[in-house]
Chain A
Amino acid sequence: MENITKEMFNPVLTQDHQIQEMVFDTGATFFKDAWKRFKKNKGGVIGLFAIIFILSMALIGPMLGTHIYNELIAEHIDLPARVPFLENFGFFDGSVNGLNPYISRGLTDVYYWFGTDNLGRDLWARVWMGTRISFFVAFVAVAIDVVFGITYGLISGYFGGKVDLVMQRVVEVISGIPNLVVVILLVLVLKPGLTSIILALMITGWISMSRVVRSQTLKIKEMEFVLAAKSLGASSFFIIVKEVLPNIIGQIIVMTMFSIPSAIFYESFLAFIGLGLQPPIASLGVLISRGYLAMLTYPHMVTFPVIVLSTLMLSFNLVADGLRDAFDPKMKGF
């Protein structure tokens, strides 16, 4: 206060200080913002890293091992896990129930990192090959969700009225048929295998996605910016793609992430009950269903595929959770 001089009371003309249109730039677009929030979510980040790790192992893992996933070696059946170096510390040394078959069979320089199955196949290679299948199923699930679910939901929600009425009745009929019945029917007609799993997903997998998209679309289409687009003469297709879709993309991504683990589980479940893939193809479900038979004598056969499967599903769920929080509209803006 003490250094206030008379000169400081000279008026400043508006032109000089220029009345500004102040805009506050948060420096972030919607996705950057969401990404920022996602990074703060520990579970989500851990999940993301776990997925990346498992995915890269699925891609390169089978090549790292010394054996091919479908190579049968009669002398090597039922071998537990044995890893060089680690064996010196008393675990992963190839012993099971107090016996070490590696030593008793004279296989001193043979190493199976995850052990072998009852036909002498390398479980390391088989687990990662199975993970590949899981990722493939996940990819197919996403594709189906996007292609069928989103399109169906957008059309049903946006056009409303009679279109919506008919489309929703169709959905009700489809979702009224139990999943398992669909699969069993498909297996009767086709052979058990990827084709029937994909067909089953095609028939039922997209329903929940279409419902979410529809309800979001119903909400967005009443917003004034959609009315504005209509009053500017935009076509329905234009409005759906340019106005509605970008505003529900967050929910779609979250929903997709949630549908991935359930699709992966679906495949394993079918394999486990014998309706899915069949050996010699390795899928996590196949490995678990086989390993489960010898669970008490050779626990390694079921442990490794179960660990990978659970980690994978948990990670996808964590990531989906993190994304949901990141896209949460309550946190948007300020």
Chain B
Amino acid sequence: MSKVILQVDNLKQYFRIDRHTTTRAVDNVSFKVYEGEIFSVVGESGSGKSTLGRSLIRIYDANAGEVTFLGRKITGKLNGETMKFLRKNMQMIFQDPMASLNPRKKVLDTVAFGLDVAKEVKTKEERKQRVIQVLKSVGLSEDHIARYPHMFSGGQRQRIGVARALVMDPKFIIADEIISALDVSIQAQVINLMRKIQKEKGLTLMFIAHDLSMVRYISDRVAVMHLGHIVEMGTVEDIYEHPLHPYTKSLLSAIPHPDPDSEKLRKRVLYHKQNIDYNHGQIQSLNDTHTVLATEEQLNAWQKGDYSDILVQM
């Protein structure tokens, strides 16, 4: 297997709500991302998947744990040089195509923002050329640079967001729910664009999503997150063909298919999370690539297909 680009060990990100409550958005999460792959994190809202991405790119400061990116430690206090290295090589694309672009800035200035901050370009002309070049790679053209975000459709805006991340030539991109606010037809457009760019530039992509069908289509490996924990992780085949964790199973049973006849017969399962406490579980390896969070008893039961109390037919 290829080189590890990002290694996360026991990352914890807590938020204090008030004196009595602390939300454990990300709770003891460990994983590795290999160079050139597409690694997906799936889970429903509140599972901590977006927080995880933001902690990695240092929008939040993690409470505990260690993250190593391209051989450098990027948790804790960073010196200026490491920070610059991180900002250049790790980029993020955001969820909401409306809110992720500053409505008062032209496309040129939005996309060139990274260049401006890093003082990477010397002349105005060079800045413009860099922006045009990256806009072309996301299917937009030179004519668009002097426009404001509200003139674009959702899909176009999301591509501007992609361009903003790409302009720095990063090695690693975190795509945080980039398609969930888009129409299905446009989702495919953005996904195919991401795949194309990933192939052309040899990028590593961390794809955060709640849509399991798109994830299957795009990813190499998948981590399923629930309540701040990674409950199951493996290759696409591991997760989609041989899911073991009941939460994964319930997620898979909920995906709608464009196939009315089979839909009418499909049985869906309901997941009773009250009957599971993730803090008791350990990461259990099922094979080289496939891990699941469970206690010994749970693992044994699940492997026998016994999900009583946890999964209920709807």
Contact = CB atoms under 8 A, between A and B. Distances in A.
Interface residues of B, number: 39
B103 interface: yes
A26 interface: yes
Interface stretch (B5-13, B110-118, B228-236): B110-118
A98 interface: no
Contact of B150 (A21, A238, A333): A333
B152 A232 contact: no
B176 to A, nearest CB: 9
A224 B94 contact: yes
A225 B111 CA distance: 11
Interface stretch (B31-39, B137-145, B192-200, B289-297): B137-145
B94 A228 contact: yes
Interface-central residue, A22, A29, A233, A247, by most chain B CB under 10 Å = A233
Interface stretch (B83-91, B244-252, B263-271, B306-314): B83-91
B240 interface: no
Given A232-B87, A246-B105, A225 B117 contact: no
A229 interface: yes
Interface string A205-241: 0000000000000000001110111111111001000
A332 B113 contact: no
Interface residues of A, number: 28
A159 interface: no
Contact of B144 (A21, A234, A243): A21
Interface string B208-236: 00000000000000000000000000000
Contact of B104 (A30, A224, A233, A238): A30
Nearest to B106: A29
Contact of B100 (A26, A225, A333): A225
A228 B164 contact: yes
Contact of B117 (A22, A234, A333): A234
Contact of A232 (B114, B140, B153): B114
A225 B92 CA distance: 11
A231 B83 CA distance: 10
B302 interface: no
B127 interface: no
B95 A224 contact: yes
Given A223-B99, A228-B164, A21 B87 contact: no
B57 interface: yes
A225 B99 contact: yes
B215 to A, nearest CB: 21
List the 9 shortest-distance A-B pairs measured between CB atoms, nearest first: A233-B87, A224-B100, A246-B104, A224-B94, A232-B114, A225-B102, A333-B150, A224-B99, A231-B92
22 contacts: A21-B140, A23-B156, A25-B151, A30-B148, A225-B100, A225-B110, A228-B113, A229-B113, A230-B59, A231-B57, A231-B59, A231-B92, A232-B114, A232-B118, A233-B114, A234-B113, A238-B117, A242-B105, A247-B103, A247-B104, A249-B104, A332-B150
Given A227-B54, A233-B83, A332-B103, 15 more contacts: A21-B141, A22-B153, A23-B152, A25-B147, A25-B151, A30-B104, A224-B96, A227-B94, A228-B94, A228-B161, A231-B87, A231-B92, A232-B164, A233-B84, A247-B104
Interface of B: 54, 57-59, 83-84, 87, 91-92, 94-96, 99-105, 110, 113-114, 117-118, 139-141, 143-144, 147-148, 150-153, 156, 161, 164, 168
